[in-house]
Structure 1
Amino acid sequence: MNKTTAILAGLGLLLTASSAMAKDLHVLNWKGYGADEPFATKAFEEMTGDKVVNDFFNSEQEMLTKLRTNPGLYDVVMINAAFMQQALGEKLVQPIDTATIQNYGDLDEAQAQSKMLNVDGKTYGVPWTWGLTTIAVNDKAFDTAPTSIKEMWKEDHKGRVTIRDDAVEAIQLGALATGQSINDVKDMDAVKQSLSELLPNIRTFWSSENDWNQMVASNQIDLGTYWSGSAGRAKTKFNLPVSLAVPEEGAVGWLDSFAIPVGSTNVEGAEKFINYMISPEFYKEWDETVGAPVSASKRAVAALPEDSFNRKVMGAPEVAERVQFQEPITDQQREDYLKVWQSLKVGAN
């Protein structure tokens, strides 16, 4: 074998070994929610050699079902912190060695230490993003954004309001409208009365960002509940006339995290993926080119322009004071909320 042939043979062995080490990384998340952005997939695959395989869910209940029925399939899953206890109770996720995640130290301390994500000294979820479920408006319908959640109840908007067809979100909306805690509803009759008065104004319910955005694009709605990150994407990515409002009655706050399912066949790749997802490099491009909720990483948020929404508005103390963060609810509470919501919808028909 001559020298050139030997070199080529050596290169072939290296490429074969590299290819053998590369693995698929199966990620379960909402569709269009950061992890499946083409720029992110490309950057991660170039950094690691692993191939990202995305799968999606349309509700937290569907996410849990996919984890239950496909053990060992997924390597990374996005879990709302309020659902982590249920995932832990069913042994669907495993502890994470945060020492392997270089950017972990940049996370907001309170979020990183959340009791919803840490149990018995072990970390099961790495905080990724947080945001609000609040009011978003069609700019064509308003000269200035409303300051009260009661705007949705006004006669002027009959047939021009939308909310997500989700029992928990609906009850929490009613709690805010009646001046109650979303995590400790004392007067359910007041919530039911408030929602029954809102239903005549509902044009339709939405279940995905695409639903909401299409209604605004065709000028079918004036306002409705929406996720803060989704409102940002509607404006940044799709150039839609959408603005977010944080009403005086408050807003529902949520914290999303990344977890590693039990049975993952690519834990090392999962750790690298989570590290990239909380990096300033990923977050800055996501927020500025697509629109994003607020990163749990203080360093990532600091990488945004000072006048950006996620620094100037979402970081404002007066906004933070009005946010009620979701806490876990029991299966019985969820069932009770569903019965209330279904009975209200039937009564409105």
Structure 2
Amino acid sequence: MSHMLNVHKLTRRQALAAGAAALAMPFIARTAFAARELRIFTWEGYGEPQWVKPFEEKTGARAKVAYTLSVDEMFAKMQASKGSDYDVIAFDTSMFGRYIDDSLVQPIDVGKIPNAANLVPAFRQVAPIRRGDKQYGVPFAWGSIPLIYDKGAFPAAPDSWEVMWDPQYAQQMIALDDTNNYLVTVAIALGIKDPFNWTDSDFEKVKQKAIEQKGLLLTYYNGNDGGVDIFASSGIKLMLSAGEPQLPALIKRGVNAGLTIPKEGAIGWLDNWTISAGATDVDLAHAWIDVCLEKSVGAAVSDHAHYGNVTDQAANERNGYTYGDRLVWLQSPEDWNRRVKLWNEVKAS
């Protein structure tokens, strides 16, 4: 998510329909996983009953799912344990450089993932998840970091990110508290040609633009539920969103909300499953990824979790996830530590 993107834990998880069809995994016997536990660290919506249950039934293993609130938290926890606390994690394309360089993830054997054949063509060759001839990730879900707005205040969708610097909406706006997604969005709003490779001048422009916005925001927020709760209860008109799932969550809360991709564009994220360097059972980790690439799981990702999926294009189309050509896909930044330092300076200003 996550992302996330980033996509985070909702106020109440929406359980998907139980009783999904058993998924075949002919490459390994159930007994090989007996009494084992797979430790999964991921985003809300990525560990749902519709695929957790078939995984457990087919392997005999238990899936222990923990959820993260931000990419920063996920990396910090993985770094602290050198990956030994988790077996499988999910993060977007921009983070692979950091994880690979810090030896926190290991290469994936695609031969142990028969359902990789289900990937739609656009997600079969993703450069950021590869290092040389080794593949470190398998695509799972995608989405954006869009602008969400109150339709009562905006009968027509705002067409530019500049609306979030408009003083007339002071204290009626909130923004995602996330180093990467927030700063890249500011760079996109500024029209910086390459939002992932900044000059010294770009760093200063982004910093000043972010500080200017901070004075207009009611607050920064963490997680889908945090943004939804504040938006629904505090008269919010505009939100730098954590992703598509926030829209149905707001509508469910009675908010007449809309989602838009401004003319400058918006971040597009592509989350991938990857295997921790500290995984205790690598075959079990591959088995999890294989289950997640069932076409039925792809449909559920879009129909119920409200993300774009990588195996069922028809599900993407019926859910309106057709704006991929307007997104700026995340990449690794030129200097992650420098960006973190800048973000901390903005929040401390």
What range is the shorter-chain TM-score in? 0.7 to 0.9
Aligned to 2:241: 226
Moved more, 126-135 or 193-202: 193-202
Q: 1:116 to 1:40 in 2, by over 3 A?
A: same
Query: Which residues in structure 2 correspond to 1:160-175 (within 5 Å)?
Result: 160-175=172-187
**For residue 148 of structure 2, what is the aligned residue in structure 1?**
136
Q: Which residue of 1 aligns with 2:329?
A: 325
CA distance in 2, matches of 1:121, 1:184: 25
Quick one: structure 1 residues 20 and 162, their matched pair in 2 at CA, closer, same or farther if it must change by over 3 Å?
Answer: closer
| Counterpart in the other structure of 1:217 | 232
Whether the 8 Å contact between 1:28 and 1:78 is mirrored in structure 2 is yes
What amino acid is aligned across from residue 153 of structure 1 in structure 2? Answer: W
Q: In the alignment, residue 281 of structure 2 is paired with which amino acid?
A: N
- Does residue 184 (structure 1) correspond to residue 188 (structure 2)? The answer is no
Change (3 A) 1:274 1:73: same
Structure 1 match to 2:130: 118
Q: How many residues align?
A: 316
Letter in 1 for 2:187: A
Superposed displacement of residue 203, structure 1: 0.5
Distance 1:334 1:204, change over 3 A: same
Contact kept in structure 2, 1:29 and 1:55, CA below 8 Å? yes
Offset of 1:112 from its aligned partner? 3.2
CA distance in 2, matches of 1:194, 1:72: 39
Equivalent of 1:90 in 99, 102, 113: 102
* Correspondences of 1:267-306 after superposition (within 5 Å): 267-289=282-304, 291-297=305-311, 300-303=312-315, 306=317
* 1:336 corresponds to: 338
1:45 matched to which residue of 2? 56
Instruction: Supply the AA of the counterpart residue of 1:128.
Output: F
Contact 2:176 2:242 in 1 (8 A): no
Structure 2 residue aligned with 1:314: 323
For the aligned residues, what is the CA RMSD? Answer: 2.5
Partners of 2:167 and 2:226 in 1: CA distance? 23
Per the TM alignment, residue 206 of structure 1 is displaced from its structure 2 partner at its CA by 0.7
Q: 1:131–1:259: structure 2 CA closer, same or farther, 3 Å change rule?
A: same
Query: Quick check: 1:66 aligned with 2:66?
Result: no
Report the alpha carbon displacement of residue 141 of structure 1 after superposing the two structures with TM. 2.8
Indicate the residue corresponding to 1:252 in structure 2: 267
Rounded to whole Å, the distance in 2 between the matches of 1:79 and 1:103 is 20
Query: C-alpha separation between the residues in 2 aligned to 1:236 and 1:101?
Result: 38
- Higher relative helix content: 1
Structure 1 residue identity aligned to 2:269: W
Q: How many Å separate the matches in 1 of 2:343 and 2:133?
A: 38
Rate the CA distance shift 1:120–1:254 in 2: closer, same or farther, 3 A: same
Q: State how 1:2-81 maps to structure 2 within 5 Å.
A: 21-30=34-43, 32-35=44-47, 37-70=48-81, 71-81=83-93
Aligned to 2:241, the other structure's residue is in SS state strand
C-alpha separation between the residues in 2 aligned to 1:23 and 1:90?
27
Bigger CA drift: 98-107 or 244-253?
A: 98-107
Q: Tell me which residue corresponds to 1:9.
A: none
TM-score if structure 1 supplies the norm length? 0.81
Shifted more, 199-208 versus 55-64: the winner is 55-64
CA distance in structure 2 between the aligned counterparts of 1:245 and 1:223, rounded to whole angstroms: 11
**Structure 1 residue 150: deviation in Å?**
1.0
Identity over aligned pairs, percent: 26
Q: Deviations over 1:268-297 (max 9, x none)?
A: 2222211222222112223323x3221123
How far apart, in 2, do the equivalents of 1:263 and 1:167 lie?
26
Give 1:162 deviation, angstroms. Answer: 0.9
Distance between the aligned counterparts of 1:20 and 1:112, measured in 2?
A: 28
- Cα separation, partners in 2 of 1:96 and 1:245, compared to 1, 3 Å: same
The C-alpha deviation readout for 1:199-218, integer Å capped at 9, x for no partner, is 22200001111110101221
Report the 3-state secondary structure (helix = DSSP H, G, I; strand = E; otherwise coil) of the residue aligned with 2:209. Answer: helix
* Structure 1 counterpart of 2:329, one-letter code: F
Change (3 A) 1:238 1:301: farther
CA 1:280 to 1:240, structure 2 compared with 1: closer, same or farther past 3 Å? Answer: farther
